[in-house]
Structure 1
Amino acid sequence: DDDDEEEEDINDVGGSSRTQTKEEIRTELSNMSFEDILMLQSKVGTKVYNEVAYGSRKSQDVSKKKRLNKNRPVEISAKKPTPFIRQVVPVRQPTRRDPRFDDLSGEYKPEIFEKTYRFINDIKRREKEIIQKKLKKTKTDGEKRNKLQFLLKRLENQERARLNQEQQRERELQLKRQQREQTHHGDQPFFLKKSDKKKLHLAEKYLDLKKSGKLENFLSKKRKRNAVKDRRKLPKQLQHKKTSQDTQF
């Protein structure tokens, strides 16, 4: 016990002597000229000089961050402005998913889709009837009439596209039935290429136009489109000549 007390006394003396030497050095530095301080700093080094002259910053920072109780929150200086966006409580963000590209929604089957959303076609038919009635009533207001005509045309185009899709689906189903029948009879199944399917579609379209009496109009429009395409492919000089010839005629 006596030995321990002696060691503690020695440590205390050593600690006090160290603090005295630091104080003495600081007093000496305060009396030194600026040139002498710079020379001393270059010899000793800036790090050692700063530790002796100003004390170590680590000890100061640790003393600042110390808390009286570990359960208390850390005190933050009011001089430092808090960030505008800060997350106080972690919020769980909802995961967004697009049902069109998600496997959880299942496989897209047009037949089932048509059955489930058949009511939309009825709504569109009713809208079409309402627009047609409004068109009959509005005769003076040109802007409103143009809007109604645009809406009517859009609905008609949508209806036409839907019917075309249904016809194409029916054709594909018919081909599948033929393939099944052939396999039942022992023949090898055949699979049409895209080009063959396109030819069949054009043939059916030709027959439909012929029945409705719109074939000539369709062919004339087609010729005009092809002529415009051919004219674009020609060089510029020939294009100007051709346009001048067309204007003369």
Structure 2
Amino acid sequence: MLIYNNKMNSSSTSDGSDHEFALNRDQDEEITEEVRRNIRSKISTLSFEDLLKMKEEMGAKLYNETVLGVKKKKIKTDYKRANKNRPRELSSKIRPKQLNRVLNQSSAPMIEQNKPRDPRFDPLCGQFDARTFKSDYKFVHDIRLEEKKQLEKELKSCTDPSRQQIIKKLIQRINNQVREQDKKDKEERKEYQEKKEVKEKLKKGEKPVYKKKSVKKLENLIEKYNELKKSNKLQKHIEKRSKKLSIKEKRKMKSHDVHN
């Protein structure tokens, strides 16, 4: 026999009287409608707050069955096909079998996926330092020079014209890479030297001179002119430059004629 004794003090009543009631229910027998009416009449005088407290102490399931007579029944849905030619209807709440096997740790452990990391955009790899990177990968420049020597040797002994063309292109590409790298290194050294001079002047208390872009550009042109003159490539460079400008001028003239 399940006996529930509940004693509550109602603040809403004027005399502050105690409401006491007992709910007796056999585990094997259901509560009749007459008993349920008596229970409802007894709790009708209780406040809403007291009803909520009673529901919390009893439990929602027992409260609904005792007071309201509500008993949830599981409704089984039959997903059989009405016609063999129709597709089978399935509930969207049913999980796939494979997903169940993965999610259920008792049957199968969780699969750990290795996510790729790009060190360029990963904060865990720290900040990028160009100078450190260059010093760490300085050996790549030496490898290029060694590769160039091997290609030049192969070019001398090679008799196949198609292979010769490929080797020449590879040598040209390495030369371009080396030349660009030397150019960048030279610019960095020059910039470093300028910054060093500015710092020294500031330490001495002198006013530093900051060069304009136009002045730097002019200095670079003069330096390039001197280099070409020393290597006897000045005339070739001038011819190449004039040819490039003439082609550019012709294109402008053509576009102007088309628009007119």
TM value normalised by structure 1: 0.58
Aligned match of 2:155? 135
C-alpha deviation, 1:198, in angstroms: 2.8
Aligned match of 2:248? 229
Note if 1:184 corresponds to 2:234: no
More helix per residue: 1
- Aligned equivalent of 2:137, options 117, 126, 132: 117
Aligned match of 1:175? 194
Distance 2:116 2:250 in 1: 50
Aligned match of 2:77? 61
Give CA deviations for 1:45-80 in whole Å, capped at 9, x if unaligned.
xxxxxxxxxxxx962239xxxxxxxxxxxxx9xxx9
Unaligned runs of 5+ in 2: 2-24, 34-72, 79-89, 103-108
C-alpha deviation, 1:113, in angstroms: 2.2
Instruction: Find the residue that maps to 1:163 and give its secondary structure.
Output: helix
Q: Residues 170 and 90 of structure 1: is their aligned pair in 2 closer, same or farther, counting only changes over 3 Å?
A: same
Q: Residues 9 and 178 of structure 1: is their aligned pair in 2 closer, same or farther, counting only changes over 3 Å?
A: closer
Q: Residues 235 and 9 of structure 1: is their aligned pair in 2 closer, same or farther, counting only changes over 3 Å?
A: closer
More strand per residue: 2
Instruction: Find the residue that maps to 2:131 and give its secondary structure.
Output: helix
Distance 1:84 1:227 in 2: 70
Pairs aligned (count): 176
Note if 1:151 corresponds to 2:170: yes
C-alpha deviation, 1:153, in angstroms: 0.8
C-alpha deviation, 1:179, in angstroms: 0.7
Give CA deviations for 1:135-174 in whole Å, capped at 9, x if unaligned.
00012x1111111111111111111111101110111011
TM value normalised by structure 2: 0.56
Aligned match of 1:25? none
Distance 2:130 2:30 in 1: 91
Q: Residues 191 and 91 of structure 1: is their aligned pair in 2 closer, same or farther, counting only changes over 3 Å?
A: farther
Distance 2:146 2:211 in 1: 39
CA RMSD in angstroms comes to 3.7
Give CA deviations for 1:85-135 in whole Å, capped at 9, x if unaligned.
987254333333322233333333333222211211221111111101100
Distance 1:85 1:228 in 2: 66
Aligned match of 1:38? none
Please, which moves more after superposition, 119-128 or 85-94? 85-94
Q: Residues 154 and 236 of structure 1: is their aligned pair in 2 closer, same or farther, counting only changes over 3 Å?
A: closer
Aligned match of 1:126? 146
Instruction: Find the residue that maps to 1:98 and give its secondary structure.
Output: coil
Distance 1:9 1:111 in 2: 86
- Aligned equivalent of 1:218, options 229, 232, 237: 237
Please list every run of at least 4 consecutive aligned residues from structure 1 whose deviation after the TM superposition is greater than 6 angstroms: 7-11, 82-87
Aligned match of 2:185? 166
Distance 1:228 1:150 in 2: 25
C-alpha deviation, 1:207, in angstroms: 1.3
C-alpha deviation, 1:226, in angstroms: 1.4
Unaligned runs of 5+ in 1: 12-56, 63-75, 240-249
Seq. identity, %: 32
Q: Residues 87 and 207 of structure 1: is their aligned pair in 2 closer, same or farther, counting only changes over 3 Å?
A: farther
